[in-house]
Amino acid sequence: MLGLALLGAVHPLLHAAPAMQTRKAVDRATDRALAAIAADPACLLASLSVLAIRNGRPLYQFACGQRSIGANLPANANTLYRIASISKLITTIGVMRMVEAGQLDVDADVSRYLGFTLRNPHFRDRPITLRSLLTHTSSLRDDAGYSWPLATALSAVFAGGGAMWSADVGPGAFFTYCNLGWGVIGTIMERVSGERFDQLMRRLVLAPLGVHGGYNPSALPAADVANIATIYRKQTVDTEVWNSAGPWIAQVDDFTNRAPQPPAGIEAYVAGANATPFSPTGGLRISAAGLGVVMQMLMAGGVFQGTRLLKPETVELMFGRQWTFDGARANGATNNGLFQAWGLGNQQFIDAPGSRLIEGADFDACGHLGDAYGLRSMFLFDRTQKTGFIVLTGGTSSDPDTVKGSHSALAAFEERILAALWERTRHA
């Protein structure tokens, strides 16, 4: 009887060891699959950092390649990347916190916040709202640029007129992806709060979640700066000629021999004049692990490990569908099928043939993509399943537009990475 009792007591442990061994074996297989994708000669990746979440919790993490090729420094789980346009989604979280605090109204005329009148000169009777800025339907365009030195007030930039605006469609009528709108959003946030954008986002979002990173690398701790990935591609900086057999060429964030410098004029800058040098549109440096904390918070309705950042109803507002492409009405520019639907500051993916992110998967995704200076990034999750994927690549050897995927608007290597991560979540 004692022998049987003892056997019964250890019986669960006998099952646990093989299960753990199986998980490790699956992880190793996924490691090999991702490393092979990163080393594929068709499109080499300078570095790769990924995180998979299942049932709202981190399941798998992997990094490979070099965060600094010249210094032979490997990428690791906490390497920070300039994540490009995923920054817009994080900026939106800051906006929504200010909405909750009663400082901003998504449907108010933003002129009341900016201190100058912002109007499309071709549609002067139609106000610009935060909702239209957050959904890329403001009628703003990037044709005249979207970043200026701190000494240049945004009011002076807009006084210059027409190239920044659509002459054909007014606010609220048509989707066109626009980075400039996020410079306006960041400037609004500054003027209303009285805080510089990078410091404001640290207070509103990053610090409460305990996440390393920021929109101003010169203000980061030395240990974080030392772990920032240089973004590469095998493309010349000036002539923009790709040579996949040539050397990796640093594009941004090469801090190996020179520390990051603050934007010129920052000492005299008055918050609310021009937030574009901090790049609310694309300048956040953060790791896959840090983005995983943000994703878990959103999956949990605005709370992470007991810290509530957003109310559940605010998360619902943020991810409520605001725009869907309608071919019959021609109500937006889809960028070759990449943009099909939008929430407030987040992209939403139609799980249908031609736009399905993962072939054969039931993955109703929202989030954001990023593409700048060689980096390609993905922040994608299914709010119902609480399954999500974060992918940060530190540069490509080939033009991603020449290695297109087979079933979506993504590049082939991005489809393969998502497929490998999806397979990993099926063996949790």
* pLDDT tier, 6 (very low <50, low <70, confident <90, very high otherwise): very low
Task: State yes or no: pLDDT of 299 exceeds 50.
Answer: yes
Identify the pLDDT of residue 20: 67
> Rounded distance, CA 33 to CA 394, Å?
18
Q: How far apart are CA 345 and CA 324, in angstroms?
A: 14
List, for residues 332-386, the tens digit of each pLDDT value.
999 999 999 999 999 999 888 777 999 999 999 999 999 999 999 999 999 999 9
Which pLDDT score, from 0 to 100, does residue 4 have? 34
The answer on pLDDT for 8 being more than 60 is: no
pLDDT for the residue 160: 80
Residue 328's pLDDT is what?
A: 92
Query: What's the pLDDT score for residue 353?
Result: 78
Whole-number average pLDDT of the chain: 94
Please report, rounded to a whole number, the percentage of residues in the chain having pLDDT higher than 70.
Answer: 95
Over residues 32-47, mean pLDDT: 98
- The pLDDT tens digits of the residues spanning 268-297 come to 999 999 999 999 999 999 999 999 999 999
pLDDT digits (tens, 9 = 90+) for 184-234: 999 999 999 999 999 999 999 999 999 999 999 999 999 999 999 999 999
pLDDT in tens, 393-420: 999 999 999 999 999 999 999 999 999 9
pLDDT at 35 > cutoff 90: yes
Strand order in the sheet with 231-233: 249-252, 231-233, 395-396
Q: How far apart are CA 265 and CA 259, in angstroms?
A: 17
What are the chain's domains?
Answer: 31-84+217-261+283-425 (3.40.710.10), 99-193 (no CATH)
User: For the whole model, what pTM was predicted?
Assistant: 0.94
Q: What HEC string does the chain produce? A: CHHHHHHHHHHHHHHHHHHHHHHHHHHHHHHHHHHHHHCCCCCCECEEEEEEEECCEEEEEEEEEEEECCCCEECCCCCEEECCCHHHHHHHHHHHHHHHCCCCCCCCECHHHHCCCCCCCCCCCCCCEHHHHHCCCCCECCCCCCCCCCCCCHHHHHHCCHHHECCCCCCCCCECCCCHHHHHHHHHHHHHHCCCHHHHHHHHHHHHHCCCCECCHHHCCHHHHHCECCEEECECCCCCCECCCCCCEEEECCCCCCCCCCCCCHHHCCCCCCCHHHCCCCCCEEEHHHHHHHHHHHHCCCEECCEECCCHHHHHHHHCCCEECCCCCCCECCCCCCCCEECCCCEECCCCCCCCCCCCCCCCEEEEEEEECCEEEEEEEECCCCEEEEEEECEECCCHHHCECCCCCCEHHHHHHHHHHHHHHCCC
Tens-digit pLDDT profile for residues 112-147: 999 999 999 999 999 999 999 999 999 999 999 999
* Distances 141 to 96, 137, 161, 284, 325 between C-alpha atoms, Å: 24, 10, 12, 22, 19
Q: What is the pLDDT of residues 70-105, one digit of tens each?
A: 999 999 999 999 999 999 999 999 999 999 999 999
In this model, does residue 17 exceed pLDDT 90?
A: no
* Residue 5 pLDDT class (50, 70, 90 cuts): very low
Distances (CA, A) of 103 to 48, 161, 188, 383, 402: 39, 29, 10, 28, 45
